[in-house]
Amino acid sequence: MSRALENGIAVLEFISSKRACTVTEIADALGIHKSTVSRIIQTFMQKDMVELNRSSRMYSVGPAILQMSNRYYKARNIMGQIKSVMETICRQVEESVHLCALSNDAAVVVEQVESASRLVVNAKIGNREPLHASSVGKCLLAFVGEDERNVMLSQIDYERFTDKTICDKRSLLAELENIRAKGYSVDDNELSTDIRCVAVPIFDGRGRCIYSLGVSGANSHMNQEKLALIIEKMTAAVRPLMETL
């Protein structure tokens, strides 16, 4: 970590630990020159992370810090709600459920609930699923903004995993249009010859697709009837959830 960044973090932590403090107090406590402390504080003030009491000339944390804190706790609460929905779906369909978010060129698993079934498919947290060959990846790609989708489509290497993998942009565009029309995506042995997956989008209050929720299972479990049941249960489960996001 750079010295400037370390100093900035140290100053912000010190201010947040006090009701209010002066530049001199901060400099003496941290062993940082007063001019350096002043420059750091000015930067934080520009972002409303620190505020100055004009009469006392003392500094305290600003509203931006409170906003960040509120967003943090809201995010934790949202994940708790989503995890509860995932657990419900897992019980209903007896298959593992995983939650993915778009990160650069992949769908990254950020949460999972494992099925108690003896024959189970698990997607470990942190796993990266290809956008063109996984249900969660195709789902995220289908519902992302058009400009962003076009950029991402141009960067996909279209690696072939099975004989069913979509390996060209034109075919993938047609698949994405189909996904948007249906409201869900399916990986029909496109990533593995032994596994089928289905995914639905999760939208926030502004209509942005922030996650895709997927269920994976062995071919022997995931026949058309089972896929239809999973889609029904997932769609019903995420509908009230999205009203809170």
Extents of the domains making up the chain: 3-61, 69-242
Give the pLDDT confidence score for residue 220 in this predicted structure: 86
Give the pLDDT confidence score for residue 68 in this predicted structure: 85
Phi, psi of 187 (to 5 degrees): -105, 100
Spatial separation of the C-alpha atoms in residues 95 and 221, rounded to whole Å: 9
Spatial separation of the C-alpha atoms in residues 99 and 78, rounded to whole Å: 13
Q: Which CATH architecture has domain 3-61?
A: Orthogonal Bundle (1.10)
Find the distance separating the first CA and the last CA of the chain, reported in whole Å. Answer: 35
pTM of the model: 0.72
The residue whose two tokens read 């305290």 is: 60
The residue whose two tokens read 């034109």 is: 170
Spatial separation of the C-alpha atoms in residues 134 and 129, rounded to whole Å: 6
Give the pLDDT confidence score for residue 233 in this predicted structure: 95
Give the pLDDT confidence score for residue 66 in this predicted structure: 81
- Name the superfamily (CATH) of residues 69-242: GAF domain (3.30.450.40)
4: its two tokens: 């400037």
Give the pLDDT confidence score for residue 124 in this predicted structure: 78
Helix segments in the chain, DSSP class H: 3-16, 23-30, 34-46, 63-93, 135-143, 146-155, 169-182, 224-242
Long-range contacts of 16-23 (CB under 8 A, 24+ apart): 16/61, 16/65, 18/60, 19/60, 20/53, 20/56, 20/58, 20/59, 20/60, 21/58, 21/59, 21/60, 22/57, 22/58, 22/59, 23/59
Q: Are 78 and 46 in contact (CB under 8 A)?
A: no
161: its two tokens: 């995993």
Give the pLDDT confidence score for residue 2 in this predicted structure: 83
Give the pLDDT confidence score for residue 78 in this predicted structure: 81
Give the pLDDT confidence score for residue 199 in this predicted structure: 97
Which residues of the chain carry a pLDDT beneath 70? Answer: 1, 73, 117-122
Give the pLDDT confidence score for residue 227 in this predicted structure: 94
The residue whose two tokens read 């996001």 is: 245
Give the pLDDT confidence score for residue 122 in this predicted structure: 66
**Type of residue at 138:** K
